[in-house]
Amino acid sequence: MSDVSTHQPKFDEETLKADVMASSEAGRTTTEYIQHHLQNLVFGVHPENGLSIAHGSEEAAAMGFWAIHLDSMFWSIGLGLLFLWIFKKGADKATSGVPGPLQNFVELIVEFVDENVRETFNGKSEVVAPLALTIFVWVFLMNLMDLIPVDWIPYAAERIGIPYQKIVPSTDVNVTLGMSFSVFALMIYYSLKIKGAGGFFKELAFQPFNSPNVLVQALFVPINLLLEGVALIAKPISLGLRLFGNMYAGELIFILIALLPFYAQWALSVPWALFHILVITLQAFIFMMLTIVYMSMAHEHH
């Protein structure tokens, strides 16, 4: 009995030290710290509280589908306006003489996107290149927010009474799927415009299996529609979830690193941040390239 009573307090103390982290003045546990940093600022209609801001994931879930993530909307729109301001300023200062640093930067990105569009897109469209440029820069800026230390803005928001502040819009699946379904809507629109409703239906109904025999082909049509329909719907879902998954995982690793002692944070966060710069750029590039490919497919005739 004496051995058990002697070791039990020591076990509780070690467990407490391992579980409790100094994440804020309130002293959250590890689980609470992670949940707080991954929680969006949700605004909607609560069944009991009416129109309000959710305080916790339970209240956010109770608000249902029509709730709005205020932080995702604020940062994504703000970064979109920043993109427009930078490129507008670069265009205003454009000169045929010796270009300035901003003009060089803007021209470098425009030429990079234009080259990829010319190599990948086979049709003729005045929309694809501006769309690709917008997606690449906008997604890159949203991803770039992941390099801001995870505690800075959420802690500052708490000091002024804002309970949650998730500053990386691309870690919100609503944002990434919203962008991907917008691309999907354009893809369907141009497929119908270029090929017509009949041509678009034939594209889905007469491949991958086809036969010169009419009766055999009639048997193949339902199978083709099922296969091509699933492949068609999978495009926007995979496009959005790929970006979300990579950025969410990166953000979670930064949060876990922030739970470590100070010396370990610097030892791990700096190398991870340097590597994450590649991930940030690559994800923006992949989203842009797949958008160009999907738009090219929409403009092609079989």
Whether omega for the bond prior to residue 208 falls within 30 degrees of 0, making it cis, is yes
Rounded to 10°, the helix 128-144/101-120 angle is 120
Catalytic machinery residues: 238, 242, 246
Contact 133, 113 (CB under 8 A): yes
* Encoded tokens for 221: 């049509």
Helix, strand, or coil here: 269?
helix
In tens digits, what is the pLDDT along the chain, a chain of 302 residues? 434 343 333 434 443 333 333 344 456 889 999 999 999 999 999 999 899 999 989 999 999 999 999 999 999 999 999 999 999 999 998 888 788 899 999 999 999 999 999 999 988 889 999 999 999 999 999 999 999 999 999 999 999 999 999 999 999 999 999 999 999 999 999 999 999 999 999 999 998 888 888 888 889 999 999 999 999 999 999 999 999 999 999 999 999 999 998 888 889 989 999 999 999 999 999 999 999 999 999 988 76
Beta-strand pair 42-46/50-53: antiparallel
Instruction: Give me the residue spans of the domains in the chain.
Output: 2-37, 70-299
Contact 186, 126 (CB under 8 A): no
Spatial distance between the Cα atoms of 102 and 60, rounded to a whole number of angstroms: 42
